[in-house]
Amino acid sequence: MTIALKAALALGLWLAPAAASAQPIGDAAPATVEPDTDEYLQHAASVARVVVLERQGDAGASLFSTTGGDPAMNGEYIYLSFGSDPREAAQIFRVGDVLEWRVVAETPGRVLLAVRENVMNADGEIGERRRRVAVTWTPGPGGAAPTAVTVATAP
C-alpha cells in the first residue's frame, strides 16, 4: 500500500464528505488554477508526515502527524491509524504532542518511537528532552483495529 493511499485513509474522516472531481494535469494548454476553498482540505494541509507500519498484518496501520499547534510548545501531533478499507472510517488514536518523532523499531502490536519534545520546568521556562516512547496494542478479532492503545516511556 502506498504512502499516498495511507495518507488518504488517515484523513478519510475529514475528507469523506468532500466532493471530489478529477482534474487532468499536463494537458497541452496551460490552465489557471484558483485556490480550492473546500474547508476539509485545511485538515489535509496540516498533515506533516505519514509512516506506513509494515509489520501489523492486514490492519492497515500507519502513524501520521499533523502540525498547527503552538510552535513554541510541541506543535506536532502524532496519531496511530488503523484501517485498510477506504469505504470504512479509520480507527485513529492520538499518541501525543512533540517537536519531532521517528520510528525506531516496529514489531506486531508495538511501535517504538524516538521523540524530541518541549517540557516546562517549575519556573515556567521551556526546555527540551529526548526520550523513547512505546506504543502498544492488542489487535481485535481477526486482526481488526484495537479498541485502545497504550503509550508509555520506554528504556
Dump pLDDT digits (tens) for 82-104.
997 888 899 999 999 999 999 99
* φ/ψ of residue 16, rounded to 5: -55, -45
What's the pTM value of the predicted model, to 2 decimals? Answer: 0.77
Dump pLDDT digits (tens) for 112-146.
999 999 999 999 999 999 999 999 999 988 888 99
The structural domains of the chain, with segments of one domain joined by +, span 3-15+43-154
Place of cell 485513509: 9
Give alpha helix (H) positions in the chain.
Answer: 3-10, 12-15, 40-45
Asked if residues 19 and 41 have their Cβ atoms less than 8 Å apart, the reply is no
For residue 141, the 8-state DSSP code is G
pLDDT-above-70 percentage for the chain: 81
